């Protein structure tokens, strides 16, 4: 029997509730596929501040490093009332997130934008676009580009001037392009590389290196798109995309746009990927302190994150498909947590949603 080590970070707010439901599903997968999952829990965020005075200890990071993958709930509390937010920024809950991403060398962020058939009504796009549905992922470079380049402000001839530098090396581009092509192979075999090659040198290098990588993936179709056009196409015809590959700042903007067009925050998963098969998987939403402890949270984003973990870190595609299909079946049968509830559907709690998905595996 294969065995994998998974680090669990329940975190704060609704984190422990939604991670608990995802573990329920992973346990069911373990039984069905005869695979062993060893879980090790670590503290991160506000709960770690309360226990150790810092949002992430070195020991916790070491535990995560030694595992095969990490599943995270969410960290943070009410930013107006929680004493955590009276601490200096580097000791606040969210500093744990930055520390773990850096410590684990995560250089790629993968965010799916999937419109479930049953939730088409919540899609804010034109009805004809929503009806067609869409299912794509954005692969965003996380450690290079404008956010990490040299920056300074000077005064020249009595006027202030600010400079930010956008740098990419071919190695940085190649390693993320390879990840995007690998992921496209597990999906519908299409990569759209997004850049601004009509203006930027870094984009022209991005395009050249991506084309070189494509030669090793003759089964994957590569096309290029300018970022301004891509921002329009996500709204106009999102069904055309499978994997969007892009640099840090473009990805930052496009992935928020892509989240919005699905219309349901509690449904969106995400992954941050590092070397080899290692990844950290988490829902796109925060710790929702307003509903913490009430058994009202939607666990689907975390359960879908667990499905991504199985697909991308453990190559368990069938198990990931099973989870995604079980989620679709439960939605089809009309069950909804409060955040996605509408007239005519059946309201259920966080734990009930987890149980229903488990029953449908
Ligand atoms: P949030 O995503 O936590 O909540 C926004 C709204 O969506 C709230 O009304 C909440 O109840 C609802 N919501 C979110 N997830 C839900 C779910 N699974 N089911 C049902 N409803 C859900 O964003 P926020 O309120 O701006 O932030 C709260 C805290 O989370 C802050 O401390 C923030 O810093 C932190 N945060 C953490 C992460 C992370 O851990 N990766 C990401 C974003 C925000």
Per residue in 46-102, pLDDT tens?
999 999 999 999 999 999 999 999 999 999 999 999 999 999 988 999 999 989 988
Query: How far is residue 132's CA from residue 115's CA, in Å, rounded to a whole number?
Result: 10
Q: Whose CA is nearest to atom 37 of ligand 1?
A: 286
pLDDT of residue 148: 86
* pLDDT of residue 238 exceeding 70: yes
Q: How confident is the model at residue 206 (pLDDT cuts 50, 70, 90)?
A: very high
Higher pLDDT residue, 186 or 168?
Answer: 168
CA of 198 to the centre of ligand 1 (A): 38
Residues 112, 255 contacting (CB under 8 angstroms)? no
* pLDDT of residue 1 exceeding 70: no
* pLDDT of residue 179 exceeding 70: yes
Nearest to 151 by CA among 170, 141, 166: 166
22 in contact with ligand 1, CB cutoff 6 A? no
Candidate from 30-34, 121-125, 213-217, 300-304 with smallest mean pLDDT: 121-125
Per residue in 314-343, pLDDT tens?
999 999 999 999 999 999 999 999 998 888
pLDDT of residue 81: 95
* pLDDT of residue 183 exceeding 80: yes
CA of 265 to the centre of ligand 1 (A): 9
pLDDT of residue 123: 87
* pLDDT of residue 265 exceeding 90: no
* pLDDT of residue 263 exceeding 90: no
Task: Give catalytic status of residue 27 as yes or no.
Answer: no
Per residue in 8-17, pLDDT tens?
999 999 999 9
Query: How far is residue 111's CA from residue 348's CA, in Å, rounded to a whole number?
Result: 26
For a mutational test of ligand 1's pocket, the pick from 288, 292, 297, 303, i.e. the residue with the most ligand atoms closer than 8 A to its C-beta, is 288
355 in contact with ligand 1, CB cutoff 6 A? no
Strands 135-141 and 108-114: antiparallel
* From 196, 328, 329, 347, active-site residue: 196
Per residue in 266-276, pLDDT tens?
888 999 998 88
Region 274-280: what's the mean pLDDT?
A: 91
Candidate from 58-72, 85-99, 210-224, 289-303 with smallest mean pLDDT: 85-99
- Please tell me the pTM assigned to this model: 0.90
* pLDDT of residue 296 exceeding 70: yes
Element (H, E) at 183: helix 170-185
Q: Which atom of ligand 1 is nearest to the CA of 299?
A: 18
Question: Which domains occur in the chain, in start order?
Answer: 1-104+278-361 (3.40.718.10), 111-260 (3.40.718.10)
Q: Over the chain, what is the mean pLDDT? A: 95
CA angle 332, 337, 343 (to 5 degrees): 70
* pLDDT of residue 240 exceeding 90: yes
pLDDT of residue 346: 95
Q: Which atom of ligand 1 is nearest to the CA of 302?
A: 18
Residues 238, 128 contacting (CB under 8 angstroms)? no
């Amino acid at each position: 029997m294969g065995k994998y080590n998974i680090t669990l970070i329940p975190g704060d707010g609704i984190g422990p509730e939604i991670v608990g439901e995802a573990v329920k599903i992973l346990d069911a997968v373990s039984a069905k596929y005869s695979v062993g999952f060893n879980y090790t829990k670590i503290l991160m965020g506000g709960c770690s501040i309360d226990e150790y005075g810092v949002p992430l200890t070195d020991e916790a990071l070491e535990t995560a490093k030694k595992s095969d993958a990490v599943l995270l709930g969410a960290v943070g509390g009410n930013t107006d009332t929680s004493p955590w937010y009276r601490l200096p920024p580097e000791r606040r809950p969210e500093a744990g997130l930055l520390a773990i991403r850096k410590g684990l060398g995560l250089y790629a962020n993968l965010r799916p934008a999937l419109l479930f058939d049953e939730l088409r009504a919540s899609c804010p796009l034109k009805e004809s676009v929503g009806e067609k549905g869409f299912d794509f992922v954005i692969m965003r470079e996380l450690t290079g580009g404008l956010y990490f380049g040299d920056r300074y402000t000077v005064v020249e001839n009595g006027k202030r001037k600010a400079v930010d530098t956008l740098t990419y090396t071919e190695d940085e581009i190649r390693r993320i392009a390879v990840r995007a092509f690998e992921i496209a192979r597990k999906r519908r075999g299409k990569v759209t590389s997004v850049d601004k090659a009509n203006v930027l040198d870094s984009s022209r290098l991005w395009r050249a290196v991506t084309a070189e990588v494509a030669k090793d993936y003759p089964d994957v179709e590569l096309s290029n798109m300018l970022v301004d056009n891509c921002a329009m196409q996500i709204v106009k015809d999102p069904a055309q995309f499978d994997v969007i590959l892009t640099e840090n700042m473009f990805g930052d903007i496009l992935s928020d746009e892509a989240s919005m067009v699905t219309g349901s925050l509690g449904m969106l998963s995400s992954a941050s990927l590092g070397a080899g098969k290692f990844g950290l998987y988490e829902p796109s939403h925060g710790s929702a302190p307003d509903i913490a402890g009430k058994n009202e949270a939607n666990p689907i984003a975390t359960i879908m994150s667990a499905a991504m973990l199985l697909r991308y870190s453990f190559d368990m595609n069938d198990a990931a498909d099973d989870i995604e299909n079980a989620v679709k079946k439960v939605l089809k049968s009309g069950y909804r947590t409060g955040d996605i509830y509408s007239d005519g559907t059946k309201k259920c709690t966080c734990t009930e949603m987890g149980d229903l998905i488990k029953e449908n595996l």
